[in-house]
Amino acid sequence: MRPGLTYNLRPDTICLAALAASALFDPDAVRRQLQQEAERVASRFAPARFARPPAWAQRADPPLATLAVLADPHVDDSGKAAWTAPLRDRLLRAIRFLNDAVKPQAVLLLGDLVAFEDAEQLRRVKALLDANLAAPYHAVPGNHDGPGYERVFGPRNHAFAVAGVRFIAIGITYWHWDSGWGNYDEMDWLAGQFAAHRGEPTIVLSHNPIALPTFANNAAVLRLLDAQPAVLAVLAGHMHVDYEVRLAKVHLGMPMLARAPYAFKVLRVHPDCILVLTFEEAGGAYRQGAIYQKIDIPPGLAPRRAAAPAP
């Protein structure tokens, strides 16, 4: 997908919406079909891979800030399932690369930190992050994180700023954790955040995509976002695939850290845009991939480098 194009999702999302609605009645029966349909929709919007970096991605000016975005690590070290056995080490490998090579000012975690809705496992993941990650981190809950998320990681809805860019994290209330179907219940809080920070470039963070009907009131949330000139983009996990949808806002899906190529994104904030780079594991080491994405920042919303502290 090339930046600047607009896509109509309506024909593709009818079946997905019907499947999601049916999860209210028989979630176990539709879970796998819903996942397959969601991935089919998202795969249509896979971002382009470039043979060489495009001109707009070759910047001489240093970024105002660098952030990393990780989604869906699905850690579980309990031995409950064979597929989760290596995922703690996978997360640690990504953390070490971030600490040594990327050196971000902040790390954004887009949910499904654990695999099986286990509060004790959430505590172990938080301890791992606290002990190993050099940068501060901010998380949103995923459907696999369960009702104990807020007792471990704090409020599911919160906001913060990095280098003049405001990030608003929103948490879905899940009705059935395995399907990921639920509702966003804090519309007034979200509208208040937008009203209080109208002049700040804003990125919304969510586990569930908002451009796709992956929760009951996604259309209402999407209308609210579309009405905010300061909202530039939405970053989401949940789908386990890398996608780019450009509607009124930019919607970027994050790849699944728990599945090959064990990828994550790096954001480089510049005054006129946010460059989005992809890092993938190959041969036991992380390397920058061939995906280059961009979130444009209008001149009136340009972030500014924070002033240096007085000596």
Please answer whether residues 108 and 206 qualify as being in contact, where contact means their C-beta atoms are separated by less than 8 angstroms. Answer: no
- Pair type for strands 250-253 and 231-236: parallel
Assigned token pair, 237: 């996990």
CA-wise closest residue to 259 among 53, 39, 41? 39
> How much is the pLDDT for 86?
87
Give pLDDT tens digits along the chain (311 positions). 333 333 444 434 434 544 444 444 455 554 566 666 666 766 788 899 999 999 999 999 999 999 999 999 999 888 888 888 889 899 999 999 999 999 999 999 999 999 998 889 999 999 999 999 999 999 999 999 998 999 999 999 999 999 999 999 999 999 877 778 899 999 999 999 999 999 999 999 999 999 988 899 999 999 999 999 999 999 999 988 899 999 999 999 999 999 899 999 999 999 999 999 999 998 889 999 999 999 999 998 888 655 444 44
Domain containing 238 equals 10-50+63-301
Q: How many residues does the chain have?
A: 311
On whether residue 2 sits in a domain, the answer given is no
> How much is the pLDDT for 284?
84
> How much is the pLDDT for 1?
32
> How much is the pLDDT for 112?
93
> How much is the pLDDT for 303?
85
On whether residue 264 sits in a domain, the answer given is yes
CATH number of 79's domain? 3.60.21.10
Assigned token pair, 304: 């500014």
On whether residue 150 sits in a domain, the answer given is yes
On whether residue 1 sits in a domain, the answer given is no
**Structural domain count of the chain:** 1
List C-alpha distances in Å: 235 to 100, 203, 239, 274, 290: 24, 7, 12, 12, 19
On whether residue 55 sits in a domain, the answer given is no
Q: Which residues contact 204 (CB under 8 A, 6 or more apart)?
A: 167, 168, 170, 210, 225, 231, 233, 234, 235
On whether residue 310 sits in a domain, the answer given is no
3-state secondary structure of 165: strand
On whether residue 5 sits in a domain, the answer given is no
On whether residue 296 sits in a domain, the answer given is yes
